[in-house]
Chains A and B, each alone.
Chain A
């Protein structure tokens, strides 16, 4: 690896982390607002940023709540239980979050980057090298996703076991059994995609989805494998322990499940890992595999989501979840730049690319199971308040 490769990798990593952490906050906000609308409430609208030396308070529909929550969690006392296994207790949150972040190493988030074309002044240094927009273009893409995301189970189990609390232990047992069972479903549903495309390399899979099937259907994985896609969605929700699969947390009987004894940012890390794990899976597998990534921009100028099958489980209380339509949720209708002006061979590493990658994933995240599902938001909120 030479200096140029290293520079590009670092830029990618910084980009992935920045997008991840920002979107964690924004998705929480979307979740809260959505839940609020469904239950006739207003939702988060209190936190604000005051412009210094003025009385101008920026509320921005409560978008700063994520920041406020994060800040508060960082500043809270890290209260530890009386008797616990110190090593495992400290290791738990990290084992939960680090593999989740690592998953994003193999997620492709764009086409091929030609840094020389993007920054002509650096053309000489890069010498015509091009890079796929992926932190680690590894052949074993999907396998890596599953390998890493499987590790998070250990984090949950360790956390539950080391807290020396029966509720934590019960939550950990539930988490373990639930995650392992649904990991199986997840793996099997993706197996169909692997058979169809004949590869586990995520980049190649994405490329293969750019054609058409039967002459008129887009050759997306979801067209080939609709049933698997639905199963995958359900398994994904279950993996992430979101309502109605929130048995490991089960706040009404197990208080907080395996992270009952964690406080402050350690608890926050567990919550973050849930959100990111969700997105990691979706980005990696549903977005990249079940949906073609790159040339699809042509038809979709606006960030409007095409309908996609929703799992039956999402109507937790018989009510249809509002499709996460970002413009309707109050965000300004974002307009992508005219994609024809963008050379798809050399996608710029800019906001347009980021949005193209993230918005379907983001909307997808909050879509299923969110109905009545304010409970997660509210529970999280309540936990964050305690």
Chain B
């Protein structure tokens, strides 16, 4: 009995290749509906047996017109959209965007706001790295390690929800400040969580670091050299795993990073294991930074006293006409940003997260461009997939930590 001819729908994308290099190879379409591709990435892979000969990575399945949508919102009301870029560490997006706007407006943050933003950015980075490492481990079958890490991540989410009111997309940044100050007891709980985090992260270290199966699947897999990583525009843990100590927090200190003492962990050969380890070490460094920041935090205002962007006190709005008008102007027309353009980049959990803003004056941006690390990484990820086994595709892709939200925007 012969197989009936395959009747498939025409491929909606135009892959870089449609024929195999050798007669024995097969072209397999992995994704976007595939457990390892987050539902947003399509990998057209030519495989010869179990070996991946070449791959062609397509993204864009989560495109939702973020940049265009921003042009019809005021500078303030697009903050919730910014949250949905890298939804694993939404606060970093908030702060990077706010800083770009503040740069245009020439605003100097209050010390408390600066420290708090730094603290929360590092806290988000921890959550992001925990998610990434956990997901990568789970995809290799290490369900227990995944659950340990996700447990602690859930503590972090709940804790951030106490402050911001939301677990994942916080919308907590404001131009010139933050939405609200810390609630009582928040810092004590933070200390508790950091201690618990030590326990859980240590457990995972014990489970996988020297585990033969883990090492066999991670070491020397998905290797990328420093020069190549730089050529493809890689940043963040992927670049650092190749041994290049490039980190915006050190190179162009923003927020309070100049006042903090921390190291930049780097890998030795840029393989999956290095990427795993760099992330785990960065969690340690972030914890170290958070502990320093807890000591540095002093009471004070969290938002600048600037009526171009900061909402007036609610009591004043109800009692004074100037405050009422100011409130309405800010809500209806948006913060008045002078004409000009600015680029501001923060070290996101995945790499350089930059915002390029163009203003023609007024309350609405002319252009918001987001330089998202995941998108840049997708351009060169095939270099890490080609030549390895089909099974290596999953941990490699996991260690790149592609976040659909910021990749496709």
Contact = CB atoms under 8 A, between A and B. Distances in A.
Interface of A: 35, 38-41, 82-85, 87-88, 162, 164, 166-167, 170, 174, 243-244, 246-247, 250-253, 255, 316-319, 371-375, 378
B376 interface: no
Main secondary structure of the interface of A (DSSP, over half): loop
B331 interface: no
B264 interface: no
Contact of B144 (A38, A85, A174, A247): A38
A372 B145 contact: yes
Contacts of B3: 83-85, 162, 164
Interface string B192-230: 000000000000001110110110000000000000000
Nearest to B8: A82
Contacts of B138: 375
Contacts of B142: 316-317, 372, 375
A372 B144 contact: yes
Interface of B: 1, 3-8, 26, 28, 30, 34-36, 50, 138-145, 147-148, 151, 206-208, 210-211, 213-214, 390-391, 393-394
* 7 closest cross-chain pairs (CB), A and B: A39-B147, A39-B144, A252-B139, A375-B141, A317-B207, A374-B143, A375-B143
13 contacts: A35-B144, A82-B8, A83-B7, A85-B1, A88-B1, A162-B3, A164-B6, A167-B28, A170-B390, A253-B394, A255-B35, A318-B206, A318-B210
Given A39-B144, A250-B391, A252-B35, A319 B7 contact: no
Contact of B143 (A84, A246, A253, A372): A372
Contacts of B6: 83, 164
Nearest to B204: A317
A40 B196 CA distance: 14
A374 B138 CA distance: 10
B51 to A, nearest CB: 12
Given A252-B36, A255-B34, A255-B35, A318 B151 contact: no
A247 B391 contact: yes
A375 B148 CA distance: 14
A252 B141 contact: yes
B144 A371 contact: yes
A386 to B, nearest CB: 11
A228 B5 CA distance: 48
A331 B390 CA distance: 43
A257 to B, nearest CB: 12
A222 B325 CA distance: 88
Contacts of A41: 147
A275 B144 CA distance: 22
A88 to B, nearest CB: 7
A251 B144 contact: no
A372 B141 contact: yes
Given A40-B148, A317-B208, A246 B141 contact: yes
Nearest to A87: B1
B144 A317 contact: yes
B54 to A, nearest CB: 16
Contacts of B391: 247, 250, 253
B143 to A, nearest CB: 4
A318 B138 CA distance: 15
A229 B145 CA distance: 30
Contacts of B34: 255
Nearest to A86: B1
Contact of B5 (A83, A87, A250): A83
A243 B207 CA distance: 16
A371 B394 CA distance: 21
B141 A316 contact: yes
A316 B148 contact: no
Contacts of A373: 141, 143
A166 B26 contact: yes
B56 to A, nearest CB: 16
Given A83-B4, A85-B3, A319 B143 contact: no
A317 B211 contact: yes
Contacts of B390: 170, 253
B1 to A, nearest CB: 6
B394 A82 contact: no
B389 to A, nearest CB: 9
Which of A41, A167, A253 counts the most chain B CB atoms within 10 A?
A253
Contacts of A243: 141
Contact of A82 (B7, B50, B141): B7
Nearest to A255: B35
A318 B213 CA distance: 9
Nearest to B203: A319
Nearest to B29: A166
A31 to B, nearest CB: 12
Contacts of A88: 1
A85 B6 CA distance: 11
Nearest to B389: A253
Contacts of A38: 144
Nearest to A166: B28
Given A83-B6, A85-B1, A252 B140 contact: yes
Contacts of B213: 244, 316-317
A108 B5 CA distance: 49
B351 to A, nearest CB: 24
Contacts of A162: 3
Given A317-B211, A372-B143, A39 B26 contact: no
Nearest to B136: A252
A82 B50 CA distance: 25
A85 B208 CA distance: 43
Contact of A317 (B1, B7, B28, B214): B214
B365 to A, nearest CB: 40
Contacts of A35: 143-144
Nearest to B145: A317
Given A246-B141, A371-B144, 15 more contacts: A39-B148, A85-B1, A85-B4, A87-B1, A88-B1, A250-B391, A252-B36, A252-B394, A253-B30, A253-B36, A317-B207, A319-B206, A372-B141, A372-B145, A373-B143
A250 B148 CA distance: 22
A240 B254 CA distance: 55
Contact of A253 (B5, B211, B393): B393
Contacts of A84: 3-4
Nearest to B33: A255
A246 B391 CA distance: 12
Contacts of A167: 28
A250 B141 CA distance: 9
A158 B28 CA distance: 20
A126 to B, nearest CB: 50
Nearest to A169: B26
A40 B207 contact: no
Given A164-B6, A250-B391, A255-B34, A319 B207 contact: yes
